[in-house]
Amino acid sequence: MFITTVVADAFATKCYLVAAAEGADCVIVDPGYGVADQLDPVLKRHGLTPRAVLLTHGHLDHTYSVTAIEAAHRLPVYLHPADHSMLIDPFSGLGDEFGPQFARVLGPEWAWRQPHDVRALGDGDLLALAELELRVDHTPGHTPGSVMFNLPGDRRAESYCLVGDTLYAGTIGRTDMPGGSRAQTLTSLRGLLRKADRTVLLTGHGEDTTVGRERVENQFMVQAAAWDGTGETPQTIMGWRPGQRV
């Protein structure tokens, strides 16, 4: 497995290039702000040929470059239908706090162009792309259409999972933006808990992590394990320490 990243010029969003090996076909996952301008030298350096763009969710910091990359390389774009509205109006999913932040980065002259070849993802889908087989988990909570992409392992990891903004090392993505839900996120995390501890979690921002680490060090994974989905949704516990029960 060959995995490399291109970090966006805003919000440090991580775009992943994933291939069976260096010098092979690849998929591009979550191309954020400025990634289109950085992409070709990285593809050339590693001998990669892009075959598709995969989106873990529809937030603009993960989709900004999708139309330019689609047009330059004639690629299909894959996104869960629950987030397709964000490809029509990218500010619809950002909310009153994040939307103005992005507007300041973009400036008044910026205009959005929708990608044309958008294909729907569904829970449990198996995607055979770029000599890879990726399994899709629908994991709503950060957005209604958030997904994770599962990949087989190699000598470094039992398996890989591109988790987008559903989970970060030690925490979770925001659930207070339009369409977000803390309860849905905790339910989605229960799926991660069923994965092997040596599964590497490739996050949308910050450091990568593993299921084993997050199982004991992430309060929200601990809450997901303890909560049966009924009653009041667990909230953040101030002062919580890794390994502590909830």
| Intra-chain end-to-end CA distance of the chain, in Å | 37
- Residue 244: the pLDDT is 86
C-beta separation of 123 from 136 below 8 A: yes
Find where tokens 């301008």 sit: 37
Residue closest to 89 by CA, chosen among 60, 69, 118: 60
Distances (CA, A) of 68 to 46, 63, 64, 79: 21, 10, 9, 16
Low-confidence ranges of the chain (pLDDT < 50): none
DSSP 62-78: HHTTHHHHHHHHT--EE
Q: Tens of pLDDT along 147-191?
A: 999 999 998 999 999 999 999 999 999 999 999 999 999 999 999
Where along the chain do its domains lie? 2-226
What confidence score (pLDDT) does residue 12 get? 96
Looking at the domain that runs over 2-226, which CATH code has it been given? 3.60.15.10
CA–CA distances in Å: residue 41 to residues 53, 115, 152, 193, 204 = 17, 23, 27, 37, 22
pLDDT at 240 (0 to 100): 86
Q: Where are the alpha helices (DSSP H) in 18-84?
A: 35-46, 60-63, 66-73
Output the pTM of the full model.
0.97
pLDDT of residue 237: 86
